Amino acid sequence: MSVAAILGGGVIGGGWAARFLLMGWDVRVFDPDPEAERKIGEVLDNARRALPSLSDRAMPAEGALSFHSDLGDAVGPADWIQESVPERLEIKHKVFAEVQMACRADAVIGSSTSGFKPSELQQGAARPGQIVVAHPFNPVYLLPLIELVPSAANDAALIARAKDTLTSIGCFPLHVRKEIDAHIADRFLEAVWREALWLVKDGVATTEEIDEAIRMGFGLRWAQMGLFETYRIAGGEAGMAHFIAQFGPCLQWPWTKLMDVPELTDELIDQIASQSNAQSGQHSIRELERIRDTNLVAMMRALKAQDWGAGAVLNRAEPPAPEVGDISQPLVTVERAVPLDWTDYNGHMNEARYLQAFGDATDRFMEIVGCDADYIASGGSYFTAETHIRHLDEVHAGARIRVETQVLLGEGKKMHLFHRMFEAERELATGEHMLIHVSLETRRASVPSDAIATRLSEIAAAHAALPVPDGAGAAVGKR
């Protein structure tokens, strides 16, 4: 079992703890704050609600979480140590000195710093090459970007190992090749923040109007395509060169005040705070976090369906499909959490999502018998001819469901499947499906390949000894 040590249990440290823990790592937390356990517990509640919704497979079993009053005890067995203490260099230097007295020499020490360069963090360290910047974005348990910033003191092998670790927990490690204050993303955000402060101070826009300008317009473009790809499209068929030629001169115009920061007077701070309270004060911070998480899950799942941006990262991190077990028993074809966006106005899983889960189960069973992507590309597949679903019990977002599949008939062109959906031992629904093998060239029924016919017949024969499942052959309104 891999072990992560989290130093500092605030918003960022708590997010790191949640991501490591829910990705199957044991997590050891050091934070002298007497409220640390409560605060991390609340972050974990949100993470457990949101992170499994990004996966279409069952996530690893959750690791063990422990809290430690002694820093050395926390870091001793750790493979990865993540520092998220306050942004004061002298505090970080003191923490690193204590860590390196107790930790393994081969452990990676990552810093969540948003501003310091790794060479600054490494000053005076016993093993400078062990320390790197691993700067995340909030919420750490959902957003994949980690700015991984090394210095000349860091060995290439350690950086490669750090990338592998971050990738394995579903993150996107962006290797920043040159040290620079505030790295890449925060420098960009700082520029936008400065301009926003001026727009408020000069009475041009309120905090709410600025946020609407972002989320109703370019923010949506940035979320899936970033800055340069967005502007490349703006250049039309001629591309980026045309865009720069057309809009480059604007950079000389006095549109912004990026190099000039308004004085943060008490009056300006009160103005911004009161506008922000009017904009969002009706929600608690925890409510805003859940609203944010739900929106992020929906957007990231949409990107996942397109295998694009953050969605492509999720696809690469998707756990493997359930293994084929004893074929004399119904096969587990789906294991997953019910995503946040699968619920309806009644607060439980939408009826269309039952069909989606059963459709996924059918797809997995097709793979098991050999009707996989390569076979389909060769010109054969199964089409569903008839479906009957019984909704037996309700299930809510976050519930871990599994589908067990029994073959009722598998011969010739026909494949007759019966799916049962469970949460633990509670049966939620059944789905009965008749599929016909077709030629994708003629779009007509055809016999499957010998390999598929043999594998399907083998499982069907094994399942023939099982009792006929309750509900099989039932029609609507009849028992």
308-340 pLDDT tens trace: 888 999 999 999 888 899 999 999 999 999 999
| Residue 41, marked binder | no
The tokens describing 414, both together, are: 């026909």
| Domain residue ranges of the chain, discontinuous segments joined by + | 3-183, 186-282, 331-463
Residue 431 pLDDT greater than 80, yes or no = yes
pLDDT band (50, 70, 90) for residue 478: low
The whole-number pLDDT of residue 250 equals: 67
CATH superfamily of 331-463: Hotdog Thioesterase (3.10.129.10)
Residue 261 pLDDT greater than 80, yes or no = no
CA gyration radius, the chain: 27
Residues 6+ apart with CB under 8 A from 77: 3, 28, 104
pTM, entire model: 0.86
Residue 84 pLDDT greater than 90, yes or no = yes
CA 128 – CA 153 distance, rounded (Å): 6
- What's the CATH fold of domain 186-282? N-(1-d-carboxylethyl)-l-norvaline Dehydrogenase; domain 2 (1.10.1040)
Cβ(27)–Cβ(4) under 8 Å? yes
Where b means 16+ CB within 10 Å and e means fewer, 434-468 reads ebbbbeeeeeeebebeeebbebbeebbeebeeeee
How many Cα atoms sit within 13 Å of 96 on the Cβ side? Answer: 26
| Residue 10, marked binder | yes
145-169 pLDDT tens trace: 999 999 999 999 999 999 999 999 9
Same fold, 3-183 and 331-463: no
The whole-number pLDDT of residue 280 equals: 86
| Residue 9, marked binder | yes
Partners of residue 109 on adjacent β-strands: 81, 131
CA 253 from centre of chain: 41
Give the CA dihedral 216, 220, 222, 224, nearest 10 degrees.
180
% of the chain residues with pLDDT over 70: 98
| Residue 13, marked binder | yes
| Residue 204, marked binder | no
Q: What is the mean pLDDT of the chain?
A: 93
CA 135 – CA 188 distance, rounded (Å): 14
DSSP 274-338: HHHHHHHTTS-HHHHHHHHHHHHHHHHHHHHHTT-THHHHHHHTPPPPPPP--TTS-EEEEEEEP
| Residue 359, marked binder | no
Residues 6+ apart with CB under 8 A from 302: 311
Number of H helices, E strands in the chain: 17, 14
Residue 196 pLDDT greater than 80, yes or no = yes
Q: How far is CA 438 from CA 278, 356, 386, 435, 467, in A?
A: 60, 21, 15, 9, 30
Residue 453 pLDDT greater than 70, yes or no = yes
Q: Distance between terminal CA atoms of the chain?
A: 49
Q: Which residue has the higher pLDDT, 429 or 280?
A: 429
The whole-number pLDDT of residue 474 equals: 86
The residue-averaged pLDDT of 235-261 equals 74
CA 427 from centre of chain: 28
The whole-number pLDDT of residue 284 equals: 86
Residue 272, H or E segment? helix 266-280
- What's the CATH fold of domain 3-183? Rossmann fold (3.40.50)
